[in-house]
Structure 1
Amino acid sequence: MPSPTVDIVSFGYLHAAPPPAHLTIDLRAHFRDPHISPELRHMTAHDEPVRTTVLATPGIEQLLEATAAAVAALLSGPSADGATIAPGCAGGRHRAPVFAQHLANRLRGRGIRVALAHRDLDKPVVQR
């Protein structure tokens, strides 16, 4: 029997409601928003300056580790057939996809099967 898959779906709250998930993580109020820097605003999580900015936020490492532990707990249940994790930020182009990618890498490093999707990464910058 194959091991369960963890689906990670990053998203932006300003585009649509969060996707259905076992665990939704709201990154809006607690982590540095690259959107506020004009030089980063039109970049995405694909760009190194965005990743560096997000990952330099105090607490991000602890949240990644705590989320990985929560995923392991969800998968250890008697009827666990996978889990969906949905990290969200305002526009879905910066914080959430960076967090999602690093969570996916961490879980894969622990032998967990992961499917990663970024719902809003390629959408236009939200004007706010």
Structure 2
Amino acid sequence: MSDTATTETETATPDVVITSFGYLHDAPPADQDLTLDLRRHFRDPHVSPALRYLTALDEEVREAVRNTPGIQQLVTATVAAVQAFRSGPSAERHQVKVASGCAGGRHRAGSVARELCEALAALGLVVELVDRDLHRDVVDR
């Protein structure tokens, strides 16, 4: 996926916009309906030398994040929350905006964002993915 990708046509107005980001690069995106802070509760692939310089574009990283205890439950709960926002009386007029953040924005945030995109697209929603920091250099910690 590119920095900005949709699951449908590029001209379709997305129902949901998911932004992955890294807290160490800048503040979370403003005006989000949900912001997932993945920093403290989920194992960071950055600590693995084999994964450190890869990103959520690499299957090895996505698999490591996907298999982290609690991630699948968080994705399921977030999908349910998006559906709840979409069921509100003004759902037809407003996109649901979800931000997924981790330390550097290269591993957990991007992987969870992709899991959410797949799950929401499977429900028939048009989803846009924005990777704010995925392209940035590894943060030296």
TM tier, smaller: over 0.9
State which of 45, 48, 58 in structure 1 corresponds to 2:69. 58
Residue 75 (structure 1) aligned to one of 75, 86, 89 = 86
Tell me if 1:101 matches 2:122.
Answer: no
> Does residue 42 of structure 1 match 2:53?
yes
Provide the C-alpha distance between the structure 2 equivalents of 1:75 and 1:56, rounded to a whole number of angstroms. Answer: 28
- Find the aligned partners of 1:50 and 1:4 in 2 and give their Cα distance: 26
Change (3 A) 1:115 1:28: same
Where does structure 1 lack aligned partners over 5 or more consecutive residues? none
Greater share of residues in helix = 1
Residues 2-13 of structure 1: matches in 2 within 5 Å?
A: 5-13=15-23
Q: Partner of 1:41: helix, strand, or coil?
A: coil
**Cα distance in structure 2, aligned partners of 1:100 and 1:4:** 15
Contact in 2 for aligned 1:4/1:75 (Cα 8 Å)? no
Alignment of 1:83-98 (within 5 A): 83-98=96-111
Q: How many residues align?
A: 127
User: Any idea what SS the aligned residue of 1:50 has?
Assistant: helix
> CA RMSD, aligned part only?
1.3
Q: CA deviation at 1:15?
A: 0.2
The runs of at least 4 consecutive aligned structure 1 residues that moved more than 6 Å come to none
Any conservation in 2 of the 1:40–1:49 contact (CA below 8 Å)? yes
Deviation at 1:113, TM superposition (A): 1.1
Query: Aligned with 2:98: secondary structure?
Result: strand
Give the Cα–Cα distance (whole angstroms) in 2 for the partners of residues 61 and 126 of structure 1: 26
How many angstroms does 1:4 deviate by? 5.9
Percent identity, aligned pairs only? 57
CA distance in 2, matches of 1:3, 1:125: 33
1:3: Cα distance to partner?
7.7
The amino acid across from 2:59 in the alignment is: E
